[in-house]
Amino acid sequence: MKLTRFAIALAVCVAVAPASTITTVSDVPGALSNVTVDSTQANGANMAGMTITAVFSHSGTENCTWLSNGTCTGTDFRVSFPTGTDTLPGDTAWTVTNLSSSSSNVLETLTIDALAGDVDFDACETAGTPHSVTSACTGATPGTNDAYTIGTAPGGSFGITASVEYTNELKLASQGSPLGDMWGEAVFTFGGNAFQGTTDRKETFTFYSDTDLLDSVKSTTPEPATFGLVGVALIGAGIFRRKIGAR
């Protein structure tokens, strides 16, 4: 009887024990871009082109590009999302896997550049203040429909945590200023138990995040060449005025 009670208690503890967890969500404006929303039906297949950078304690920096099979795979890591499922959180989560076989090779940070694939992170935020990450909200930007701030999803390896920072803010060209709900990049900084490599099972981190597909992206900061052309034009105008004044 005592053994049975112990087994039940142990099962309950395992069932309710937290796995991987998002601890905090914050943001910094970064580079601002004007965008057009194409579709809110983003999935693992149509986010191809996103780039991801992972930094490890031992092997250093690795990069990969998201493919239409719903994965982005580097030498020692993989990030994946199913191809036939909308990213609006439900039963499906994003999964980050440390593929290294060395316990000393700890995954420290992960940067997802969604904008590189004409994708944005659609968050429940207003004026930079994160809303609840436990349920969906109505996106602040017209056309984005439901949104969901990056948050904890069931699964993942026990005790691994991450703080998340959104950056590179986005807005519609018709908006005077961004509303704080569309972002081009998300940076994960891992903590808690080490997100390390293993020789048998592979350590994973799972999270929810909503994304949208973008039709066009245009930086609000002029390119260096543009500054050069403007400068030449101004110099030319000055020379022309001086010639007229000398007549």
pLDDT at 180: 87
Q: What is the pLDDT averaged over residues 189-216?
A: 93
pLDDT at 240: 38
Rg (CA), the chain: 23
- Kindly report the pTM of this predicted structure: 0.82
- Tell me the C-alpha to C-alpha distance, in Å, between residue 206 and each of 74, 88, 178, 182, 193: 18, 14, 29, 21, 14
φ, ψ for residue 230, nearest 5 deg? -60, -40
User: pLDDT (tens digit, 9 = 90+) per residue, 9-61?
Assistant: 334 344 444 589 999 999 999 999 999 999 999 999 999 999 999 999 999 99
CA trace torsion 43, 48, 53, 59 (10° rounding) = 100
pLDDT at 135: 64
Q: Where are the domains of the chain?
A: 18-246
Q: Evaluate the CA torsion angle 109, 113, 117, 121 in order and state its sign.
A: positive
The percent of residues above 70 in pLDDT, for the chain, comes to: 77
- Tell me the C-alpha to C-alpha distance, in Å, between residue 226 and each of 169, 171, 239: 22, 22, 20
| 3-class SS of residue 202 | coil
